[in-house]
Chains A and B, each alone.
Chain A
Amino acid sequence: MNPHCPAHPSKRLLSVTVNGQEREVAVAPHRTLLELLRIDLGLTGTKHGCGQGDCGACVVLLDGLPVHACLVLALETQGRQVETIEGVADGPALHPLQQAFIDAGSVQCGYCTPGMILVGKALLASTPSPSADEVRAALAGNLCRCTGYHKIVEGVLLAADRMGDGNHDGEEGSR
């Protein structure tokens, strides 16, 4: 059980690692991870699309696995690792998935893009050389209304290809 916050009796203290940085925040028990990220931490790259776990726009990685941030309570992340779209690039160097999304034309309105990239990252961590069908299955929980998914699938496959070669993006390929 998280300790009460002395200054705000209705809130509890949460300690969570977000994009590699340890953060301590006083949050209300009903605060979702999505609200924690967007409102308390100012990480607005994670999008609110439905609030019901249907669209995937709010997907982040919790201990490396994709979760809908709108369905996770902030306090559930105590002591855990959260990765958002803001943590995917290594400083100014884009992650191969980000570069591939740019190169393959995987982006239109961009609202689904953060979730798509994080799901893609989790997929490539477990399945470094997925087939197109495996990519489609992995992305099935993330809705996109603009692209018809075609170029998003291409983007993930392109990134897998480049990461497999391990050269196009320097050290990025080994991540």
Chain B
Amino acid sequence: MSGKPLSVIGGRAPRIDAWEKVTGRATYADDLTRPDMLVGAILHSPLAHARVVHVDTSRAERLPGVRAVLTARNSPSCYFGVSPARYDETLFCGDKVRYVGDEVAMVAAIDRDVAREALELIRVEYEELEPVLDGRTAADPAKPQVHELYPGNVSGRVEQEFGDVVGARAKAYLVRTDRLSNKMQNAAFLEPQCALAEVDGQGRVTLHTSTQSPHYVARTVAMVLGLDEHQIRVVLPRVGGGFGPKAAASTMEIATCLLAQRTGRPVKTVFTREQVFLHSRARHQFFHEMTVGVDRDGRLLFLDHEALLDGGAYASFGIATVYYAGSLLGGPYRLPAMRYRGTRVVTNKPACGAQRGHGGVIARALFEMQLDRIASELGVDPIELRLRNVMGAGESTCNDLNMSSLGMRECLEAVRDRSGWATRGEHKNPGKGIGVACGFFVSGAGYPIYRSRTPHCTVVIKVDEGGGGVVVQSGAAEIGQGCETMMAHVAAETLGIPLELVRVRAGDSDLAMDLGAYSSRTTLMTGHATKQAAEGVRDQILASVAEAMGVPEEDLTIEAGLVKVRGEPGPFEPLRAEYQKEHRGWKTPDAPFLTFLEASRLAFLDKGAIVATGQYRPPPLGGKFKGATVGTSPAYGCSAQIAEVQVDLETGQVRVLHVTAAHDCGKAINRTQVEAQMHGCISMGLGEALMEEVVFHPDGTIANPNLSDYRIPTALDVPDIDAIVIESDEPNGPFGAKEVGEGGIMPVIPAILNAIYNATGVVIDELPASPERILRSLRKGE
């Protein structure tokens, strides 16, 4: 970008949190303990839909060792949720329960055994109601209403039209309509949610919680408990994965704070694996129908898209999800006309929310499958068809998303050239197939979840008083994706110092503000703020050096921790002499240049604390239509993948043999971490394509709320992956960087399904593509 060669960014330095994680010293929420700490436990509804007639907690309250019992009767009744326009949850169910797992009561007790016994002593009288369990019929007028806020069981409806769909359809050479649905997913992060709350002498609450967004959690806790935001501090311990569901504040987090308030003692609550499934908030069940038209050459003319989302009992992120399901089809191909009608219904199942790729994943899967079928009907190579349609940098979609950079063509060409694509027709074994797909994703949502002109993040960098090191302070959420390592890279690069001199303290609402780890936003947004703060402290330090040396400030640079005057040492000896005088008996620098250690100490002696702040707020983005904000972003990452599969024609079992993946991340802050995100995306997408499905009994209970029956990929399921990093140098990104964490999941499902189609001719219209479904389709085709 600046033309200056990069020394830290673009390399493969180890993550800054790797050492603590390989030694077992990394501290997650459930590893925390406090003297006198109580254990919190939640009573969940065993019924999918029922009126709560009476809750009797008297026996639980009398049990020795129980310190507090919460129900709707003695807890705040304030509605909360994710989007303020859809606040629809309360801490505990007052009048009725809406899914198996809905929270009815909570206890704090001296240990887990007592807490469990107390839950068993709570008597709840229910009056069963007919549950609504199928999203496809939830909006029928005959169905009972799940939630008083959603007449007709519709919690979100979108109608958008861009360009002239009807006119385009009349001109189309080829039009086809296809359908695809998936099943409710579970994010299956390894660490179950856990929260520890404590209250200090001033009544200030500190909540240590396994969240993706300390900021949203702090706001929600404050609102529900009637506190000001400064009276709640949310601190992130190490977090064992999030992938979306941990981005929303939960009853568990808020009520754990309430129990700490009521008892005056620290309280810790940890979910079992079953509770992770009950709470869910993961990928929705989507039912998509798309009609696509192309001209004689395969150029896209229009997309007419209808989607139904089964959202479970509450809105969670769902209003954003239903918008994303439409808006994220605007690119990465030139699509002149698009109509979208999306409906999100509520049902008596766990609430669905955001999961990696958010609302775009299943929609993308169907659209990319249609492109393959169109290619096949036109007799055009599927990659060639895509290349005829890809957008380039600077273009905008019909729904006003601007691709400030877009290496889509480069990604496609890279996977074509590095895979077995060219020879795919030769030596074809029965059941072996190859498929391609593309996708793109936001580098951070253009707007926060609540309406505000708030900065999306702030960063504070403070230089050590003794000189030498800097501390980056941030509210960003390190959930495993590597954002602390990213911040360290950006700070070190900007300051011109080695990575080892940077420490990162993140995920603490007392240190700085950050919207959190969602919408693939942290590298671009928090990266910008980090860069700005680092420039601030660098300038203060160099101003002191310039004055002391009597040289112009613009002649000074810091490279690899050494201060240079137009590349030369400059008159630094008097400064070194002063430093040495201060440090008699110490080992002091002997480099032939002034070191960052000496320069930063000098600046402290001159000015006191050297602190600078940075912030990031995207410029106004998007069109003027309703819902125009969802899908906007300062930049878009994109990817292409080719999957090679072997389908066992006897059993229907699909084995993914190899994936060639290319992702345009703008600029790799750390190449190893970019590849790691791509690998994780492919693994999760593979699971969704072939095996993952939350199964419900007819009464609305989950049949497989565990990790042996809800199958996620193991080391034996994930194939060899060739991960190719494409760098398009994003003008709106720090050092040219944009997202990789979520966009990489977009092509996975369709690349695998297209490979299955290529291998067998089987068209999958229902995910996951399990052996049973493949066999059924194979037999139908015979």
Contact = CB atoms under 8 A, between A and B. Distances in A.
Tell whether A pairs with B.
Answer: yes
Interface of A: 38, 43-52, 54-55, 57, 84-86, 88-89, 94, 98, 101-103, 105, 107-114, 117, 135-137, 139-153
A149 B716 CA distance: 9
A47 B191 contact: yes
A135 to B, nearest CB: 8
Contact of A52 (B187, B676, B682, B707): B707
A105 B675 CA distance: 9
A105 B190 contact: no
A93 to B, nearest CB: 11
Contact of B24 (A50, A84, A141, A149): A84
Contacts of A44: 24, 27-28, 30-31
Interface of B: 12, 14-15, 17-28, 30-31, 187-192, 238-241, 243, 270, 272-273, 479-482, 672-673, 675-676, 679-684, 706-708, 712-716, 718, 720-721
B24 A105 contact: no
A98 B683 contact: no
A136 B715 contact: yes
B715 A54 contact: no
A89 B17 CA distance: 17
Given A147-B680, A147-B683, A151-B679, A109 B480 contact: yes
B24 A85 contact: yes
Contacts of B25: 45, 86
Given A46-B24, A52-B707, A86-B23, A109 B721 contact: no
Closest A-B pairs by Cβ, 8 of them: A45-B24, A109-B480, A111-B240, A110-B21, A148-B683, A85-B24, A148-B679, A44-B31
B354 to A, nearest CB: 15
B365 to A, nearest CB: 19
Contacts of A113: 21-22
Contacts of B192: 48-50
A109 B707 contact: no
Given A113-B22, A150-B718, A105 B680 contact: no
A89 B715 CA distance: 25
A149 B27 CA distance: 22
Chain B interface main SS type:
loop
Contact of A98 (B22, B238, B479, B676): B22
A51 B273 contact: yes
Contacts of A43: 24
A110 B17 contact: yes
Nearest to B270: A48
A149 B31 CA distance: 25
B709 to A, nearest CB: 9
A102 B679 contact: no
A39 to B, nearest CB: 8
Contact of B238 (A84, A94, A110): A110
Contact of A108 (B481, B706, B707): B481
A116 B482 CA distance: 19
B19 to A, nearest CB: 6
Nearest to B659: A148
B40 to A, nearest CB: 16
B739 to A, nearest CB: 16
A136 B706 CA distance: 22
Contacts of B239: 109
Contacts of A51: 272-273
Contact of B22 (A54, A107, A136): A107
B28 A47 contact: yes
A148 B718 contact: yes
A127 to B, nearest CB: 15
B23 A107 contact: no
A117 B22 contact: yes
B327 to A, nearest CB: 27
B708 A47 contact: no
Contacts of A139: 714-715
Nearest to B681: A148
B191 A111 contact: yes
Nearest to A49: B190
Contacts of B676: 105, 108, 146-147, 150-151
A102 to B, nearest CB: 4
A124 B303 CA distance: 54
A88 B19 CA distance: 13
B49 to A, nearest CB: 28
A117 B12 CA distance: 21
Contact of B715 (A85, A109, A117, A142): A142
A84 B191 CA distance: 18
Given A137-B716, A140-B715, 8 more contacts: A44-B27, A49-B191, A94-B19, A102-B15, A114-B24, A140-B716, A146-B241, A148-B721
Nearest to B709: A54
Contacts of B680: 108, 145-148
B746 to A, nearest CB: 15
Contact of B684 (A89, A137, A141, A145): A145
B92 to A, nearest CB: 25
Contacts of A110: 17, 20-22, 26, 238, 240, 480
A113 B187 CA distance: 18
A102 B22 contact: yes
A95 B721 CA distance: 27
Given A44-B31, A85-B23, A148-B680, A105 B715 contact: no
A143 to B, nearest CB: 6
Contact of B190 (A38, A46, A111, A117): A111
A49 B715 CA distance: 17
Contacts of A145: 187-190, 241, 243, 680, 683-684, 712
Contacts of A107: 15, 17-18, 21-22
A153 B715 contact: yes
Contacts of A150: 675-676, 679, 718, 720-721
Nearest to B242: A109
11 contacts: A44-B27, A46-B24, A55-B190, A84-B24, A94-B19, A107-B21, A108-B676, A110-B238, A136-B716, A149-B679, A149-B714
B718 A105 contact: no
Contact of B273 (A50, A114, A135, A136): A50
Contacts of B720: 150
A146 B480 contact: yes
Nearest to A135: B715
A170 B481 CA distance: 32
B622 to A, nearest CB: 32
A84 B24 CA distance: 9
Given A111-B191, A147-B676, A102 B18 contact: yes
Given A98-B23, A151-B676, A109 B273 contact: no
A51 B31 CA distance: 15
A52 B18 contact: no
Nearest to A111: B240
A89 B23 contact: yes
A136 B195 CA distance: 34
B706 A50 contact: yes
A69 to B, nearest CB: 13
B673 A105 contact: yes
A136 B719 CA distance: 10
A45 to B, nearest CB: 2
A156 to B, nearest CB: 10
B241 A109 contact: yes
A105 B22 contact: no
Contacts of A148: 679-683, 713, 718, 721
